[in-house]
Structure 1
Amino acid sequence: MTDIGRDDPAGAAAEFLAEGGVFVPQFVLRTYRALGLSDEEFVLLLQIAGFRLAEGNPFPTPDEIGTRMGIGPDRVAGLIGDLIRRGFLAIDERIDPETGVRSEAYRWTGWYEQAAAHAAAHEPSGGAAARPSSPERREPPRGAAVPAEDGRAAELFAVFEREFGRPLSPMELETISAWLDQDRYPEELIRFALKEAVFAGKLSFRYIDRILLEWSRNRITSEEEARLRARQFRGRA
């Protein structure tokens, strides 16, 4: 009997199928365009799911994703940042209780939640194809962050990238989005916190976050108030 291997198309297919894959519910396939996702964004989300589910890599780099998609890492980082802002993608941070090692993982449940909500609202019962309708963005679930205006966030991303002298990581993009959407820090306050970090020679997101948290505890809500607080602090130093 002849061995069936990769030289045989059927054998090769069976071998590759054994690697596993990604299950995509039909309602996700039906609704992604109605949710405003481009084909490129859709494929990127599938690639992220594939890395995690089939290859055990929960946090692929922009380089790894870009190689699969034939696009540059900067483009990948930009797409990921936009998907995070719109609630389709999130980054979970985990700490191993035994080793204390910190790690990150992508989570795309927000995408499935938006797809399910759209299908429930716009499709007949029984899972039939959606009725033609103009694309619209649904209201986020109760308790979810309200996405910042894309232009406002994009400007902040650009400012931070200029100061850091490099493209921001997906985790850093999500941090800025969280400052705007969840913590509700005014944009001018975030910009001034960045300036303070540069002035102090401590240019890191953790340091900037501490500055913003300290201002929040002292009910500082404007750049003018923050500037006065900084002068008082330096006067005591």
Structure 2
Amino acid sequence: MKSNILAWLHEGNITIPALLFSEYRNLNLNETELVLLLNILTFIEKGNEFPTPEELSARMTVSISDCNEMLRRLIQRGYIEIIDQYSHDGIRFEKYSVKPLWEKLIDQFMINNKATKEIDKQAEETNLYTCFEKEFGRPLSPFECESLGMWMDDDHHDPVIIKAALREAVMSGKLNFRYIDRILFEWKKNGIKTIEQAKNHGRKFRQKQMQKVNVKDDVHHPAVPFYNWLEQ
């Protein structure tokens, strides 16, 4: 019993990126090709860097000739490559490299990541237009839609910051695009790029306004209300 467990442990383990299993179809690999690549990786892990079609076929349900043909196709399509190396004694030998496979997998990951970000961006923009139309109580005009697009594409304002400027305009009772544009201009000039920075800037501005009121009036007046317009 113990010898069986030791033999099992002696076989070792191999680490495969989970992304390979979720993306092999998008890499235009079929299941048989995937298993062939996994077997190549296993052989390499155990020190056999150039397994023969016979050795690979023995682990699979495909013939030696089919295995040989798959290897040829995988090399032609740029998933694996055969590289020449030399031993310390100057003896030339060949080995498989799966570096091209990992490069393709990284490229696919970046494509997926870019697509996800694009979807998120589109959702944010759609939500932004909805917020503006809700506050204005009407559909936006073509000019207003163009202004929103310019804030995002030309001025590179984050949709979250634009929403914050909208709330500031609502709280100030000056709900118009010119006023919102002025807020965004001032924030950009002051290097404000995050919600927290905008919140702090708004707090400091209102504190200054309150101080001006206190200095100007000798008689006690109710304090200027403080609006935490960025908090939900």
Q: Into which bin does the TM-score normalised by the smaller protein fall?
A: 0.3 to 0.5
What TM-score, normalized by structure 2, do the two folds share? 0.46
**Greater C-alpha Rg:** 2
Structure with higher RCO (Cα < 8 A, 6+ apart): 1
Which structure: greater helix fraction? 2
